Chains A and B, each alone.
Chain A
Amino acid sequence: MEEEAEAEEQQRFSYQQRLKAAVHYTVGCLCEEVALDKEMQFSKQTIAAISELTFRQCENFAKDLEMFARHARRTTINTEDVKLLARRSNSLLKYITDKSEEIAQTNLERKARKKKKSENGNHNSRELAEAGVVESEK
């Protein structure tokens, strides 16, 4: 029994390590962009520190988001919850609010395009189906 618990603990640990590695990679890419833009290099330790910080900040974010959603009697976290997260700085809140509208707009357009495509598809397949029915009746 103890071995099982230990194995589970190991699995959880290595999963977290893989997540941390993924975060580290993304942080590295973002810092590289900033470094190019500002013409200033980052030490490896700095990138590692930002990466560790981001990973830990996710824990705070996740717990807050879960609580916000539960407070609103929901199980699904939505964009309103995320906006609440960004409340501490006015400029951050504004940026996130604008982004939220941009995302909503983009997704709306994508859905409209998809719907149009599927309507055309249905129209074509209905024509084919009717043709098929006529065939078999013969």
Chain B
Amino acid sequence: MERAGAGAGFRKELVSRLLHVHFKDDKTKVSGDALQLMAELLKIFVVEAAVRGVRQAQAEDAILVDVDQLEKVLPQLLLDF
């Protein structure tokens, strides 16, 4: 079974649980394809946060990505999502 997109990622079951915690209606369900797509979306969210943090750290000549760098990229990140 080929896996599109190697590396780490969010498992479908975790994504499902994460979403169901916040649903207002008990009857709300999520299709399998939507779960897979949400897993991708969450993966991009994390990777974007990480990569933008790196770019900020590089711009500041910092040796690692600390919360200070993350805070600076947060506003735009949240606007983009």
Chain A proximity mask over B46-81: 1 for CB below 8 Å, otherwise 0:
110111011001100001111101100010000111
Chain A residues within 8 Å of B23, by CB:
62-63, 66
> Given contacts A45-B66, A62-B19, A96-B40, are A50 and B81 in contact (CB under 8 A)?
no
- B19, chain A: closest CB distance, angstroms: 4
Contacting pair A58 B31 (CB below 8 A): no
| A136 contacts partner chain B, Cβ-Cβ < 8 Å | no
Contacting pair B30 A76 (CB below 8 A): yes
Across the interface, B8 reaches (CB within 8 A) one of A33, A43, A88, namely A33
Contacting pair B33 A96 (CB below 8 A): no
**Docked pose: A61 CA to B33 CA in angstroms:** 16
| A26 contacts partner chain B, Cβ-Cβ < 8 Å | yes
Interface residues on A, range: 35 or more
Interface residues on B, range: 35 or more
Chain B residues within 8 Å of A81, by CB:
34
**Docked pose: A10 CA to B76 CA in angstroms:** 36
| A127 contacts partner chain B, Cβ-Cβ < 8 Å | no
Contacting pair B44 A95 (CB below 8 A): yes
Which residues from chain B sit less than 8 Å from chain A, CB to CB?
A: 2, 4, 7-11, 14, 17-25, 27-34, 36-38, 40-47, 49-51, 53-54, 57-58, 63-67, 69-70, 74, 79-81
11 A-B residue pairings within 8 Å (CB atoms):
A30-B8, A30-B9, A46-B53, A53-B49, A66-B23, A76-B31, A77-B28, A82-B37, A88-B80, A96-B37, A106-B4
Apart from A26-B9, A42-B53, A76-B30, 12 more pairs, CB < 8 Å: A26-B8, A29-B8, A32-B8, A43-B65, A43-B66, A50-B50, A50-B70, A53-B49, A62-B19, A66-B22, A75-B25, A82-B41
